Structure 1
Amino acid sequence: MSFKITNDDLRDFAQDYQNRPAAKVLENAVTTNGVRAASFNWHSIADDAPVFSIDLATGDVADQKQSGRCWMFAALNTMRHEMQQKFNLPDNFELSQSYAFFWDKFEKANWFYENIINTAQLPLGDRKVAWLLETPQQDGGQWDMLCALIEKYGVVPKTAMPESYNSSRSNEINAVLNNQLRHDAVILRKLVNDQASDDEINSIRKQMLNNVYRMLAYAFGEPVTKFDFEYRTKKDKEYHRDADLTPQEFFKKYVGWNLDDYISIIQAPTADKEYGKTYTIEMLGNVVGGRQVKHLNLSMADFKQLAIDQLKGGESVWFGSDVIKYSNTKHGLMALNTYDYEKLFDTELTMTKAEALDYGESMMDHAMVLTGVDLVNERPTKWKVENSWGPKVGTKGYFVMSDAWMDQYCYQIVINKKYLSDQLKQAAAQEPIVLKPWDPMGTLA
């Protein structure tokens, strides 16, 4: 069945438009100011005041600048919050995102080679191959991917490996690196299909990784292997120096987390994902042989209660969401009433959370940190969010997220297993169901 737009239809549409009393006023407002400004609901500022019954102490807000490292910033921020309290570190202390960025891109290159070799006998038009080649590597990631990096390479303070031009503006190195990886994919696919030996393929793959290491060292600086950690305490300005540390020693001594204690919880109410089951995503990861990406899917009620319990315990919470939806960076708001698109255009836009996921309207695209919550009669009304877009965005870098916005657009949190019931711990220990590479729960923040 087809439907052709006729001239009569066009006249009807134009007549309907002209019959609307406010049409020209709204046309002037939207064409002059844009959709978001014209639909902004200023009442949302008062509805979501930045005051919270639970409000954790945190340092200065970090800035990922022109890079897609939110997942990395958010994870390292959760670690530094505890470090700042434990060691009385200054507010501007940060763990090096550039150090983790180097190793992530290096490991992602090897991950790409692994998947190219494993799919080499599939045609180029196969969806999996096309998916791999569309973006060989990118800045984004997920919690388990950072854990895999830390378990292998440790962490360092930002003073030991500071930001570079390319870590703060990653588009140039990404373009060249993806060019290199696609170039290498041509060679690797040909080697496999010409039935080259494993030794020959691995030898050439090692040469390719050597090239990648050199490119990344030029772009970010070669990663530090030993360093001195120096700082003055926040309160009494007492000087401390710890010399000749390795990144693994620094993580063990100053962060001290058992990363196995932290698991990913998702909130995916789609028909293909049963609550109480664990899931992983085919071909998603960064470190070959490292930690697997794994999610436990729970109801929204369980999801939020775990976040509240962890905040009550004094720990901030890494989370992933669709940050662009109904958010305002000037006022630091994430609320469903921030913009009233439906009234502006006199239409219906509402979809359920499951429908939005299934139809590509929403997915996780940004990771941040929950550092507070406002509880009224033990029920959350709004949440405090630490972003990684610098102090000039929102309220000195912080956002207010309404509880209703969390219901609709939050998809992932990371929780210490000590806050899980025995039943949920058993559920988390299950072998994961494998989802397709393009599943929305596999998107990278």
Structure 2
Amino acid sequence: MRITEGILGTYRDKFNDNVANKAVQNAIAKVGINKSSADNNMTRRHNFVFSHETEKGEITNQKSSGRCWMFAALNTARVDTMEKLNVKTFEFSQNYTLFWDKLEKSNYFLDSIIETVDEPLNSRLVQHLLQDPVQDGGQWDMFSGILEKYGAVPKAAMPETYHSSNTKELNELLTSKLRDFAAKLRDSFKEGKSEDQLMDQKEDYLYFVYSLLVKTLGEVPETFTYEYRDKDDGFNRISGITPQDFFKKYVKWDLEERISLINAPTEDKPFGKAYTVKYLGTIKEAHPIKYVNAPIGALKEAAVRSIKEGEPVWFGCDVGKMLDREAGIMDDQAYDYEATLGESVELTKAQRLDYGDSLLTHAMVFVGVDLDDEGIPIKWKVENSWGDKNGDKGMYSMSDRWFDEYNYQVAVKRKYIDDKWLKALDEPVVELEPWDPMGALAMMK
């Protein structure tokens, strides 16, 4: 069927016959679809008061970078550090972990190119590898590998630079150079060079990456001294400590005890199975990404248990859906599109994943939950990393129904997860293709 003048005439008449359409058209023209469709009762449902809360530090700001997953992980970890140092707030260096993430991702990419040199250039796998080899995004297990290998440092030990807070130019240049290196490695393979020779070639390329990162992000400290005043205004100095030892002593996490639960209610991913994603990672020698798919209720139960014990929870979601960014509210009823546009989007969560309408885009931290008299969640308190201008001075409120629809992952201690889901970790891991939606990376700015 083609669009004819007759069809267009029918559409025009149908639109003009509804007198409300003109008012809606004028409103949208002035303020846009979302503000015209906003539910004015939304703020009544979100009073930013919660029955259970954890400790938290001052609001952080990832600025013009996609480091949300790093900020969320470090903001989760700093609560333990604040207790051990006896300080009101604390902030880790996100620049330090960004440096290692870029270097390790570059190494992971170049190794993957060498592993696939005999694949056709136009294969889906090679094109996937070339698409975005060193973006800012990541997942919990990827960051866990960075912490385990490199530890962490206070922000004062490696402050922000222009390019840590504004990563676009760095990412574009580094991506182009990595594609350049990929082309050279594939050409060398065609010329008959061995895998060992390709690895030697890669080592030279990796030095360029290292040099670029030092110039743009600064040198990473091998040891550092940290001076601070505690809650009692007492002066303290930690001298000559390594980043690895700082993390072990002042965070003291057993990273292997922290498990990722995901909620992907699609037919191809049965609940109670452990999954990984091919060619997805940061540190080549680290444990591969692994998470257990479970009903959304299992994620909530684990998060509530953690919060009740005073431990914040890292989580990954599709933050752009039904979000009022200025108000700092995530609510599945934030916008009444049916009232303004005549129809709402009716896809289920599974359909949104299957049809490319939703995936994990952003990581934040649960620092509270509001439970009713029966212990059922009403809303969730969220620590974001977009500065303090929106929401309640940077804190966000999430309705429990929004959690159902748009939250995809939580990382919690093993002890907070029901044993029936942990059994999956002792069974064979299901490998997902690199382009599976559950391989999406949190990187929203």
Deviant stretches of 4+, over 6 Å:
none
Give the aligned partner of residue 168 of structure 2. 171
Residue 401 (structure 1) aligns with: 398
Alignment of 1:373-392 (within 5 A): 373-376=369-372, 377-392=374-389
Match of 1:160 in 2: 157
Matched position secondary structure for 1:283: coil
SS class of match (1:248): helix
The yes-or-no answer on 1:304 pairing with 2:300 is yes
Alignment partner of 2:148 out of 151, 156, 179: 151
SS of 2:226 mapped into structure 1: strand
| 1:252 Cα deviation after fit | 0.9
C-alpha offsets along residues 135-184 of structure 1, whole Å, 9 cap, x if unaligned? 12100000111111111111111110011100000001001100110000
1:100 corresponds in structure 2 to 97
Amino acid paired to 2:121: L
Q: Does 1:328 align with 2:304?
A: no
Q: How far apart, in 2, do the equivalents of 1:280 and 1:13 lie?
A: 48
Q: Distance in 2 between matches of 1:404 and 1:99?
A: 36
- Structure 1: which amino acid aligns with 2:205? M
Partner of 2:314: 318
Using the size of structure 2 for normalisation, the TM-score is 0.97
**3-state SS in 1 of match to 2:382:** strand
Distance verdict in 2 for CA 1:198–1:120, change over 3 Å: closer
Q: Deviations over 1:112-157 (max 9, x none)?
A: 1011111221222111111111112100000111111111111111
SS at 2:377 equivalent: strand
In structure 2, C-alpha distance between the alignment counterparts of 1:148 and 1:217, rounded to whole Å: 21
Give the C-alpha shift of residue 425 in structure 1: 2.5
1:283 corresponds, among 279, 288, 294, to: 279
The runs of 5 or more residues in structure 2 that have no matched partner are: none
| 1:78-117 to 2 correspondences below 5 Å | 78-91=76-89, 93-117=90-114
Please state how far the C-alpha of 1:350 moved relative to its aligned partner: 1.7
Task: Give the match for residue 21 of structure 2.
Answer: 23
Separation in 2, partners of 1:83, 1:103:
21
Matches within 5 A, 1:409-424: 409-424=406-421
d(CA) in 2 for partners of 1:168, 1:258? 30
Q: SS state of the match for residue 155, structure 2? A: coil
Q: Which residue of 2 aligns with 1:133?
A: 130
Q: Which amino acid aligns with 2:87?
A: L
Alignment partner of 1:50 is 2:48: yes
Partner Cα distance (1:195, 1:272) in 2: 41
For the residue of structure 1 that corresponds to 2:170, the secondary structure is: helix
- Matches of 2:71 and 2:411, distance apart in 1: 14
Instruction: Give the CA deviation at 1:289.
Output: 1.2
Q: How does 1:233-382 map to 2 (within 5 A)?
A: 233=230, 235-376=231-372, 377-382=374-379
In structure 1, distance between residues paired with 2:207 and 2:427: 38
Q: Report the CA distance between 1:199 and its aligned residue.
A: 2.5
Inter-partner Cα distance in structure 1 for 2:264 and 2:47? 29
Task: Name the CA distance, whole Å, in 1 between partners of 2:86 and 2:298.
Answer: 34
**Aligned counterpart, 1:69:** 67
- The offset of 1:360, in angstroms, is 0.6
Contact 1:147 1:291 survives alignment (8 Å): no
Tell me, yes or no, if the aligned pair for 2:53 and 2:308 is still in contact at 8 Å: no
Paired residue total? 441
Paired residue for 2:426, among 425, 429, 433? Answer: 429
The 10-residue stretch of structure 1 (343-352 or 398-407) with the greater mean CA deviation from structure 2: 343-352
Verify the 8 A CA contact 1:69 1:140 in the aligned structure 2. yes
Contact 1:99 1:161 in 2 (8 A): yes
Letter in 2 for 1:94: E
SS of the residue corresponding to residue 367 of structure 1 reads: strand
- Matched-pair contact (CA < 8 Å) for 1:90–1:232: no
Following superposition, the deviation at residue 428 of structure 1 comes to 2.4
Q: For residues 209-240 of structure 1, give each alpha carbon's deviation from its aligned partner in whole angstroms, at most 9, with x where no partner exists.
A: 0000000000000111110021111x211111
Return the offset for 1:301.
Answer: 1.3
Equivalent residues of 2:53, 2:310 under 8 A apart: no
Cα offset for 1:271? 0.4
Which stretch of structure 1 is more off in the superposition, 112-121 or 250-259? Answer: 112-121
Give the superposition deviation at 1:193.
2.8
Deviations 1:77-134 (A, max 9, x none): 100012112322232x201100000000000001110111112212221111111111
Name 2:212's counterpart in structure 1. 215
For 2:397 and 2:83, the matched residues in 1 are separated by 23
Question: Given that residues 336 and 344 in structure 2 are in contact (C-alpha distance below 8 angstroms), is that contact kept between their aligned partners in structure 1?
Answer: no
Distance 1:382 1:251 in 2: 32
Measure, in 2, the Cα distance between the counterparts of 1:295 and 1:258. Answer: 17
Match of 2:228 in 1: 231
**Cα distance, 1:197 vs structure 2:** 1.6
Structural RMSD (CA): 1.0
Q: Deviations over 1:59-80 (max 9, x none)?
A: 1011000000000000011000
1:257-295 per-position Cα deviation (integer Å, ceiling 9, x unaligned): 110000110000000001000000010001111121111
Structure 2 contact 298–417 (Cα < 8 Å) conserved:
no
User: Structure 1 CA distance, aligned partners of 2:163 and 2:292?
Assistant: 35
Match of 2:57 among 36, 56, 59: 59
- Percent identity, aligned pairs only? 44
Aligned-pair CA distance for 1:342:
2.1
| One-letter identity of the residue aligned with 1:80 | R
Return the alpha-carbon distance in structure 1 between the equivalents of residues 55 and 419 of structure 2. 30
> How far did 1:326 drift?
0.6
Secondary structure of residue in 2 paired with 1:434: strand
- 1:424 CA displacement: 2.7
Deviation at 1:317, TM superposition (A): 0.3
1:321–1:365 contact (8 Å) kept in structure 2: yes
Contact 1:154 1:251 in 2 (8 A): yes
Counterpart of 2:281 in structure 1: which amino acid? Answer: G
Match 1:4 to one of 2, 5, 10 = 2
Shift, 1:348, TM fit: 3.4
The answer to whether the 8 Å contact 2:277/2:433 transfers is: yes
